[in-house]
Amino acid sequence: MSRSYLPHWVHWLGSPPNFYRFAGAWRPWLMAAALLAAVAGLYGGLVLAPPDYQQGDAYRIIFIHVPSAWMSLFIYVSMAVAGLVALVWRIKLAEIVAMECAPVGAAFTLVTLLTGSLWGKPMWGTWWTWDARLTSELVLLFLYFGVIGLYNAFEDRRRGARAASLLALVGIVNLPIVHYSVQWWNTLHQGTTVDFLDPARSSIAPAMLWPLLVMALATHLYFFASILGRTRTGLLSLESGKQWVRQLVSEAAP
């Protein structure tokens, strides 16, 4: 398939020097915005939000657990889309983005599982149960690890990225299972509490909802900032022999 089907801005960003400059300009702003949003969200969730009428203050882990769970799915979709672009159009930048998504996604998935375990102990009386939601989220973590491991198994990083991208695409089948598991099976895990299409229908008090959404914004901003930074580093490593990298080094030299 020809690259001519891609939008002009994709072609422009696909140029390593252009992306390097773009990422360097936007990353600090995104990271600063993520920090401000996280402070506001945590203050709203841990200080301003009232205790839950059943769980008391124990529910407050939701402000870390739920945004991390959302990110574990969002990042996997981002990785798969970048992997698809890498496989179809063989764009080097897409390969790097896909592979740099995996460690960040694995970290968010691990946080989801750990905070879920901490939350589950007082609520369910156990640290872990083979609940459909928990099990499918654990499978998601293994998929991230599989992508990372397969990528690093190849000496040729571009071949490794394409092989790992194919695994990422196959693993997409797990995402609907994670998302709909609480509807498809009788599970201990509570159902959906936030309706993005109609927030007014969400089964969570507004005083608890807004910090949750702000924390979700913070995690998304952090992800974008992190990917920009990690991709810049990956580009420098992969393109170390290119003229534009040598020029950057010469400009940075005293």
Beta bridge partners of 56: 52
**According to the model, what pLDDT value does residue 53 have?**
84
Residue 87, both tokens: 């496989």
Backbone dihedral angles phi then psi of residue 156, each to the nearest 5 degrees: -80, 110
Q: What is the pTM of this model?
A: 0.92
Beta bridge partners of 52: 56
**According to the model, what pLDDT value does residue 77 have?**
98
Lowest pLDDT segment from 123-127, 133-137, 167-171, 232-236: 123-127
**Cβ-based neighbours of 180, under 8 Å, separated by 6 or more:** none
2: left (phi over 0), alpha (psi -120 to 50) or beta: beta
**According to the model, what pLDDT value does residue 4 have?**
54
From the list 206, 59, 170, 167, the residue with the least C-alpha distance to 122 is 59
Amino acid at residue number 66: V
**According to the model, what pLDDT value does residue 67 have?**
96
Average pLDDT over residues 216-229: 98
Average pLDDT over residues 222-248: 93
From the list 155, 167, 69, 73, the residue with the least C-alpha distance to 115 is 69
When pLDDT is cut at 50, 70 and 90, the band that residue 195 belongs to is: low
Give the DSSP letter string of 56-120. Answer: BGGGGGHHHHHHHHHHHHHHHHHHHHHHHHHHHH--HHHHHHHHHHHHHHHHHHHHHHHHHHHHH
Task: Evaluate if residue 1 carries a pLDDT over 50.
Answer: no
